[in-house]
């Protein structure tokens, strides 16, 4: 029994290490191809495809991200006020909402929403091309699938996820202002002045740095799951599910790592 357990752990460990290695190699290839998707200096067709991806990844996700942030901001303000009211510290609700969104909730909510929408779409698109042998046709025509498919998606995500993070921050903070106006009759102008006093540029940049890392995880995991599809159409559905699960897990894990690092830096 002990031998079987050790064998199972060893195989699982090797499988995970292999997966991380695949992500690293794919990221290296994507970074090498990224320059050819840029405007002016890159391939015009790749840039046009990246623009279409920006619309799908970013613009179409705005309503979902905005509604999620509004609801979460209002909930966070209500939960914080229920305890802080006991100590007569309702003004601290403003700090809770503004710092909570700019540092943590803004990038995390945007990443989870985009992971569910676009991560699965990337995997399904590439997986379908694998099943129908379109990827083999691209290689036959001397077209690199990484440059042709992944790099424009990566560029679009790097541009749009920080923008969605800013939208999430704004909606969440405004939801906190709506709660303060309903509960304490605080005007929006006064609320925004308190918000401006509580937020520093470092808080905003922390959230944007996280969003860049989250964008990398979502694209690389989604596309890798698509490239690893083997079998028929049912394998495409399994890869899309795996892309959402793995990218969401890695996003939360990366968020934990970033938060721990920033916390330790602030203590020094």
The CA distance from 70 to 66, in Å, is 6
Q: What single DSSP character describes residue 36?
A: G
Total number of domains in the chain: 1
Measured CA to CA, the distance from residue 9 to residue 52 in angstroms comes to: 43
The DSSP secondary-structure symbol of 42 reads S
* CB-CB neighbours of 205 under 10 Å: 11
User: CA-to-CA distance for 210 and 253, rounded, in angstroms?
Assistant: 11
Q: What is the pLDDT of residues 70-99, one digit of tens each?
A: 999 999 999 888 888 877 778 888 888 999
Using only the alpha carbons of the chain, give its radius of gyration: 22
Coil, strand, or helix at residue 185? coil
pLDDT in tens, the chain (268 residues): 677 777 777 888 888 888 888 899 999 999 988 888 888 777 788 888 899 999 999 999 999 999 999 999 999 999 888 888 877 778 888 888 999 999 999 999 999 999 998 989 999 999 999 988 888 888 888 888 898 889 999 999 999 999 999 999 999 999 999 999 888 888 888 899 999 988 888 889 999 999 999 999 999 999 999 998 887 778 888 899 999 999 999 999 999 999 999 888 877 6
CA–CA separation, 214 vs 42, rounded Å? 25
For residue 201, how far is the Cα from the chain centroid? 21
pTM of this prediction? 0.91
Q: What are the helix and strand counts (H, E) for the chain?
A: 12, 0
Domain that holds residue 206: 2-267
Half-sphere CA count of 48, side-chain side, radius 13 A = 3
Residue keyed to tokens 């894990």: 253
- Cα 205–Cα 208–Cα 211 angle in degrees, nearest 5: 155
Whole-angstrom distance, CA of residue 90 vs CA of residue 206: 26
The tens digit of pLDDT for each residue in 205-239 reads 999 999 999 999 999 999 999 998 887 778 888 89
The pLDDT value recorded for residue 14 is 86
Structure tokens of 182? 């309903």
**Quick check: 164 and 62 in contact, CB under 8 A?**
yes
What is the predicted pLDDT for the residue at 231?
79
Sign of CA dihedral 230, 231, 232, 238: negative
């Amino acid at each position: 029994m002990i031998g079987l357990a050790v064998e199972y752990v060893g195989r699982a460990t090797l499988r995970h290490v292999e997966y991380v290695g695949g992500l690293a190699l794919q990221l290296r290839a994507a970074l090498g191809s990224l320059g050819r998707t840029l405007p002016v200096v890159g391939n015009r067709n790749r840039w046009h495809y990246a623009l279409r991806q920006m619309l799908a990844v970013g613009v179409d996700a705005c309503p979902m991200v905005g509604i999620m942030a509004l609801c979460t901001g209002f909930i966070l303000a209500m939960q914080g006020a229920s305890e802080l009211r006991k100590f007569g510290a309702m003004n601290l609700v403003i700090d809770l909402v503004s710092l909570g969104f700019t540092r943590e909730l803004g990038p995390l909510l945007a990443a989870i929403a985009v992971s569910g929408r676009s991560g699965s779409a990337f995997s399904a698109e590439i997986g379908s091309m694998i099943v129908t042998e379109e990827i083999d046709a691209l290689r036959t025509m001397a077209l690199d699938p990484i440059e042709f498919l992944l790099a424009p998606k990566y560029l679009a995500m790097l541009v749009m996820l920080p923008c969605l993070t800013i939208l999430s921050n704004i909606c969440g903070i405004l939801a906190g202002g709506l709660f303060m106006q309903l509960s304490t009759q605080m005007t929006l102008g006064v609320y925004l002045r308190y918000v401006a006093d509580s937020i520093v540029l470092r808080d905003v940049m922390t959230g944007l740095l996280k969003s860049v890392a989250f964008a990398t995880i979502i694209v690389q995991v989604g596309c890798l799951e698509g490239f690893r599809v083997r079998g028929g159409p049912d394998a495409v559905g399994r890869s899309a599910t795996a892309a959402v699960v793995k990218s969401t897990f890695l996003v939360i894990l990366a968020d934990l790592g970033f938060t721990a690092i920033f916390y330790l830096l602030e203590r020094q």
